[in-house]
Amino acid sequence: MLRRGLQQRRYAGSGDRQAISALFWTIYRAAARIGWHLEQLGAESTPRTYVLAGLRLGEGMARGRDCRAVWRRRKACAASARAMTRLRSRTGWKDAASTMPSMPRAVRLEWPEALVADAEAALGDAHG
C-alpha cells in the first residue's frame, strides 16, 4: 500500500520516495518502543511525535537537520522543534531504539504480547 501510494505521486522523485519509505519502516519497526518512550515522557502519542521519533532514529533531526525540510509551515516547524527539545531533554532518552530494563518484554522485542506469553510458556525462564 505504501509503495502504491508513493507511485501515484508522480512529482515525487525516486529519492523522495526512498526517504519516505525508509522513514516509514524505521517508525514501523520501532513503534512499540517509540510508544513506550512517549508514554514515559508524558508526551502525546500522535503521528507527528512518531515521525519526530523516527527522524531522531534516522539521519534527520538527530543530526541537526532543519525541520523546515520536513514541515514547510513555520508554525508546524516551531511546534516540532519544541517537541524535539522536550523529547531529547526528559529522562535521559537517547533514542527510540534504546531499550530499558523497565520496558515490558513485548515492547523490547516488538512482539505482540500474546506471542511473548506463548514463548514464555514454551521456553520458561531460559529465553532471557
**Counted domains in the chain:** 2
Cβ-contact 107, 36 below 8 angstroms: yes
Cβ-contact 78, 110 below 8 angstroms: no
The span from the first CA to the last CA of the chain, in angstroms, equals: 36
- Residue numbers of the domain that contains 103: 98-128
Same domain, 92 and 121: no
Same domain, 117 and 70: no
Same domain, 85 and 107: no
- Specify the DSSP class assigned to residue 102: T
pTM, entire model: 0.61
Same domain, 103 and 83: no
As a residue count, the chain comes to 128
C-alpha cell at 115: 506471542
Same domain, 44 and 90: yes
Same domain, 77 and 43: yes
User: What pLDDT is attached to residue 40?
Assistant: 81
Same domain, 93 and 113: no
Local mean pLDDT, 10-residue blocks, the chain (128 residues): 63 70 84 85 83 69 52 59 63 59 85 85 72
User: Rounded to an integer, what distance in angstroms lies between the CA atom of residue 15 and that of residue 35?
Assistant: 28
User: What pLDDT is attached to residue 63?
Assistant: 45
